[in-house]
Structure formats: C-alpha cells, structure tokens
Amino acid sequence: MILSLEKREFFRWLDSDLTDPGTKQELAGLLTGDSPSSVSNRGESFPPVDEEAVFDRFHCGLSFGTAGLRGKMRAGLNGMNVYTVGQATQGMANLIVSSGPSAMKAGVVIAHDCRNHSREFAERSAEILAANGIRVYLFESLRPTPELSFAIGYLRCTAGINITASHNPKQDNGFKAYWSDGAQIDNTLARAVSEEMRKTDILTGVKRIPLAEAIATGLVSIIGEEIDQRYLETILAELVDPEIVKQAAGSLRIVYTPLHGTGYRLVPEVLSRIGVTHLYPVPEQMIPDGDFPTVERPNPQYPEVFRLGIDIAQKEQADLIIATDPDADRVGVMAKGKDGIFSCLTGNQMGVLLLDYIIQSLRRLGKLPRNPYAVRSIVSTPMADRVCEANGVRMLTSYTGFRFIALRINEMQNSGNPDGFLLAFEESYGYLRGSYAKDKDGVVTSMLITEMAAFYRLRGMTLIDAMEEMYRKYGACLDRTDEVLVSDAEKKNRILSGLRENPPATLGGEAVCEISDYLSGICRNVSTGAVSRLPFEPSDVLSFRCESGTSVMIRPSGTEPKIKIYISVSSASLAGAEERMASCRRDTARWS
C-alpha cells in the first residue's frame, strides 16, 4: 500500500517506541473501523483513518517565526506537544552550540505561564538543552513573561524560552524564543532556528536527559525568589513620583484580577510596596488555572472578563479595575465615570494617558531628561504624537510587536541617548517603561496606572475624567481596531491584493491623500504622484491617510487567522470624531 506523506508520518508516530502512551492513545482515536492500532498486530496492513484529521495534524509543522511557535495543544506535527517543543528546543540548542562554549556556558533561562502542559513543556526544553551541554536556569513555577525578559539580562544568558500563548484561548499554547538582549528573536535568528529544526528528526533527532540528572550534574539550576526580588526592585525604580500613591492611599481603592494567570502574586506585591492599602483581588480569578473557568477568553481587552471585578468594585466603591492577561504582559482597565458606571479604557487611550502623565510629572519634579522620546507601533494612536509634539518629546514608530519596539529603544540607547526613554506602547494593551526588559510588562504598567489613578484621585478625578481632559487639551482622536476572520491564506491574500490593485479613493467621504505599502516600501502622494521610501523592512501592511488625519491601516494577524483593520479619526469635537469613525467603518466593512 502506498501511503501519503501525512499518513506515513501518522503511522510512524503511532508505531514508534519513542512516542509516549498518551500520544499513541490520542492518535489511535483517529483510526476508523475495527482494525488493530498496534503495528505488531496488523503486520503490513494499514487500517483506515480519519483522512481530514490526519491531514490537518500532519501535512505540515507549526511555523517557527519571530514569536516562536503557537498552536492548539494536540498530537501531531501541527500541534503544540512535547515533540514539537522538543524539535524547536533542539533547533535553538544547535544554534547556541554553533555559537561556541561561551554561549553554551552563559546558557538559557526558561519560564512558563499557567496553561495546561506549560510546566511539562518547560521541563522538556530544560532536559534537551542540558543534553546538549547548555547551562539552563529554570523557574521553579509560573512567572510573568516580562520577568523572563528581565532574567535574561540579569543572568547574562545567551537566550530565553517562555512557554506561553499569552491571551489565546485555553486550547492553545506557545513557545517564545528570546535572545541575549531580552527581546524576542529577530527574523535572521528565527530563520536559523527553523533551518536547524528542518534538519532535526522530530522523534529520533532530539537529545534529552532526565531533569533530575541534569539538576544533579549542575547543568540545570532552579531559580525563583532571588530573581523575583531583583525584578520587583527594578520595577519600583520606574515609579514617577513615589509620594503620590502614599498621599492617596486612604481613599484609593483598586480591584485586581490576573485572569487565572501569572500576575497573581507579583502585581499585588508591587502595589503593596508602593503604598496601596485598599486592594481587592477577585478571589475566583486569583487561582492559576489553564482552563480559565471564569472567562471564555482570557483577554483583558474584552469587557466581559471584568464581570466579577465589577461586582467587587461596586461593593467596595473602587476607582478602577486592573486586569492582566495570563502571562502578565498585557493590561486592561475599567474605570469609574461620574455616573458611577465602569467603562473600559482602550489600549490607545491608556497609552496617551500614561504618556501625558509621565511627561507632566517628570517636568513638575524637574526630572524630565534632556532628549526625551517615546515609542509606539505604527498602528497605535497618532494622538500620542500630538502629546509629544506639544511637550517637546520625540515620538518614534515601529512595526507592531515589542520585538520591533525593543529595536528602536536599543538604537536610541546605542546612539548616545541612554536616559531619554519615557514610555513604549502598542494599541493591543502592551506598555513598557524602563530598559530592564525588552518586552511589554503588565506588572510595571499596573504600578504606573495605579500611580496615575492616585494622582487624579487627589484632584477629584477618575481616569475617565482624565481622558476627557486629554480630548479637550489635545483634540478629539478616536481609534478602533476591527477584525476580519479569514478561513485560509487565499482569502487573506485576496483582500490585501485587492486593496493594492484598487485602493480606496475616499474614507468617510474624505479623499485619500497618501497610500503607503510597507511590503514594497513605497509611500505615494495621491495628488502629485510623488513617491518616497518608508524607513522600515518589508511587511504586509497597507496604510491610507487623509488630510484631516484620518488614517486606516490593514495587516494580517501574526498569531490568529484574521486580518486587522486599524482606524484613527480626528475632529474638533468628540461628536464629530464619532461621526467620522462611523462613516469610515462603513467604508472598510466593504473590504471583506
């Protein structure tokens, strides 16, 4: 019988002595009919299988990109399991070994989140690295993603591995790869790891020794408390005005939820250290749990995850509710308005609020650096540019993702401006202040949001009031991210290629004046035809801009089967901005 490549690999996994019993049992569930699943019982015959399921799991492996691996936890090449994690780890090990003994000795630090199998995957990675002679520092239990980034620099490691799928659904998990600067690996390193993975047989080509043996030989060290304390001390140094929270402590009331994730311990600890005395955790969500039993999607950008927190906030008359995602790198907030109703602040709004607060407070304290700058992703609100322009601060932009933001920060620090960095943010609820890490940090952000809330509390204002003040001060700017689900790459390419061939002439009734295609690197003035080069590497992003400042950007998601459309509109009044936003959304809805 001639088998397809997918079936051949399926039966190899099913029959191999290297495949664990649990995986074999899962794969045997894809057999159909009454034929025996054991190769020893069936000889050369091959029973029928669920063709679609086998193809889905074995037609290709998970793609290893700059964010590493991410996918559903299941057996097969196209799933997150100990074998795909092992192949990725062996690929990183080969790269580190090729870098020489000093890179191997500097080693790798490994962390993981609360998800099912995360600890198992983290330990498997440690066993493989140790078998390759590489020093390993393994966190004793779950830790926030930003602490992993910090630990790489603190321990002076060559690389880092984090087992997490961030805010994805509970079925998913991921393998994030970091390099010595504390940022996620770049395209060059990702390609190198991918090539090493391609050369490594997923079942027979991965080296491994038992974890207990690796610990006994000194190749693996278990870490935890010392790193926690150094990390917290470093975060506390990023307070803008250490006295603010203490002054407001008597009246400031905050509800916090880690959404069953890694922020459950360190966020309350840092808030306590800055002087918060009225902190109300959401009890049901303080328990780490990879099934996320109280939320459908553990993502702090969705209002529904605040349901339990709102009940507590109303009971305790709290000012705001802070939520971090499962790996504690993102932060979402609900704040109380004058009417007593809690409303969500978007990632863009929080970025503007934090940026303005940091600038004004540092100026008031006489601590604003000589050449201050901030960084935002290209799809984040241009309102931040107005804040910077009005205050003599330089705004830099980068592609979406903190790896790219980290590159801009590194460039500035290496060019002789090590102390000018104020804040980096992206609209997807990620923020960073300080250079101790090169990834977004929900722990430091929770602290800064609390400090800012205390500042406005002392002025008799909530963060909702503060945002309204921002609109009066800098003009009304509204931002929205819409998503288009795409069932396959063909549909995604059809939408983007269609916009390249027939770009919109108007948005919200206003003429498009500038079109930027980040894939070709060309920015074109529609009226004059003049073109200029964009200062970015090629990426599948399109941008359309109008004279009023209205802009729409569109790009495919790097982690989910969807296309994201970012709309930003400006107007003299909030009502005018809302009308313009509605009109633009009617136009972009036709794109899908």
Burial (0-12, 13-18, 19+ Cβ within 10 Å), 567: buried
Is the pLDDT score of 42 beyond 90?
A: no
> Which one-letter DSSP state was computed for residue 73?
B
Whether the CA torsion 533, 536, 540, 546 is positive or negative: it is negative
Instruction: Pick the closest to residue 110 from 72, 66, 79, 68 (CA basis).
Output: 68
Looking at domain 60-223, what is its CATH homologous superfamily? Alpha-D-Glucose-1,6-Bisphosphate, subunit A, domain 3 (3.40.120.10)
The b-or-e profile of 416-433 (16+ CB within 10 A means b, else e) is: ebeebbbbbbbbbbbbbb
Whether the CA torsion 169, 143, 69, 116 is positive or negative: it is negative
User: Residues 354, 470: contact at Cβ < 8 Å?
Assistant: no
- Rounded to an integer, what distance in angstroms lies between the CA atom of residue 145 and that of residue 472? 36
* Residue 390: other Cβ atoms inside 10 A: 12
- Rounded to an integer, what distance in angstroms lies between the CA atom of residue 91 and that of residue 430? 29
User: Residues 14, 37: contact at Cβ < 8 Å?
Assistant: yes
- pLDDT attached to residue 44: 57
Is the pLDDT score of 34 beyond 70?
A: no
Q: What is the CATH number of domain 249-345?
A: 3.40.120.10
Angle between helices 225-236 and 263-273 (to 10 degrees): 50
Amino acid at residue number 241 = D
Q: Where are the domains of the chain?
A: 60-223, 249-345, 348-474, 476-589
- pLDDT attached to residue 312: 98
Which token pair is 206?
Answer: 């991965």
Instruction: Pick the closest to residue 461 from 323, 355, 320, 352 (CA basis).
Output: 320
Task: Please spell the DSSP secondary structure of 4-67, one letter per residue.
Answer: PHHHHHHHHHHH-TTS-HHHHHHHHTTB-SS--S-HHHHTT----B-HHHHHHHHSSPPP-BTT
- Rounded to an integer, what distance in angstroms lies between the CA atom of residue 368 and that of residue 366? 6
Per-residue pLDDT tens digits for 196-229: 999 999 999 999 999 999 999 999 999 999 999 9
User: Residues 131, 219: contact at Cβ < 8 Å?
Assistant: no
How far is C-alpha 580 from the chain's CA centre?
30
CATH number among 1.20.1250.20, 3.40.50.1820, 3.40.50.10860, 3.40.120.10, domain 348-474: 3.40.120.10
Instruction: Pick the closest to residue 424 from 413, 414, 415 (CA basis).
Output: 413
One fold for both 60-223 and 249-345? yes
> Which one-letter DSSP state was computed for residue 524?
E
- Rounded to an integer, what distance in angstroms lies between the CA atom of residue 308 and that of residue 319? 15
Is the pLDDT score of 39 beyond 70?
A: no
Mean pLDDT value of segment 562-585: 91
Per-residue pLDDT tens digits for 357-399: 999 999 999 999 999 999 999 999 999 999 999 999 999 999 9
For 82, the 3-state DSSP assignment is: helix
For 77, the 3-state DSSP assignment is: coil
> Which one-letter DSSP state was computed for residue 80?
B
Please give the sequence-ordered ranges of beta strands (E in DSSP) within 356-452, or none if there are none: 373-377, 394-398, 421-426, 430-432
For 577, the 3-state DSSP assignment is: helix
- Rounded to an integer, what distance in angstroms lies between the CA atom of residue 125 and that of residue 118? 11
Q: Does domain 476-589 have CATH number 2.160.10.10?
A: no
Per-residue pLDDT tens digits for 134-153: 999 999 999 999 999 999 99
**Phi, then psi, of 105 in degrees rounded to 5:** -70, -40
> Where in the sequence numbering do the catalytic residues fall?
166
What is the chain's mean pLDDT, rounded? 94
How many Cα atoms within 13 Å fall on the side-chain side of residue 83? 23
Which token pair is 581?
Answer: 């936003």
Is the pLDDT score of 90 beyond 80?
A: yes
> Which one-letter DSSP state was computed for residue 3?
P
For 112, the 3-state DSSP assignment is: strand
Angle at 339 between CA 337 and CA 341, to 5 degrees: 65
Instruction: Pick the closest to residue 286 from 314, 309, 313, 302 (CA basis).
Output: 309
- pLDDT attached to residue 549: 86
- pLDDT attached to residue 40: 44
**Phi, then psi, of 231 in degrees rounded to 5:** -60, -50
Per-residue pLDDT tens digits for 490-514: 778 889 999 999 999 999 999 999 9
Mean pLDDT value of segment 295-323: 96
Per-residue pLDDT tens digits for 448-487: 999 999 999 999 999 999 999 999 999 889 999 999 888 7
- pLDDT attached to residue 35: 52
- Rounded to an integer, what distance in angstroms lies between the CA atom of residue 145 and that of residue 114? 11
- Rounded to an integer, what distance in angstroms lies between the CA atom of residue 468 and that of residue 470? 5
Strands 136-139 and 108-112: parallel
Mean pLDDT value of segment 283-291: 98
Is the pLDDT score of 356 beyond 80?
A: yes
> Which one-letter DSSP state was computed for residue 283?
G
User: Residues 150, 332: contact at Cβ < 8 Å?
Assistant: no
- pLDDT attached to residue 41: 44
Which token pair is 381?
Answer: 């609100």
23-27, 322-326, 571-575, range with the lowest pLDDT: 571-575
For 560, the 3-state DSSP assignment is: coil
Please give the sequence-ordered ranges of beta strands (E in DSSP) within 268-341, or none if there are none: 279-281, 320-324, 331-336
Q: Which residue has the higher pLDDT, 67 or 580?
A: 580
- Which neighbouring-strand residues pair with 431? 425
Q: Which residues contact 493 (CB under 8 A, 6 or more apart)?
A: none
- pLDDT attached to residue 494: 87
- First CA to last CA across the chain, in angstroms? 44
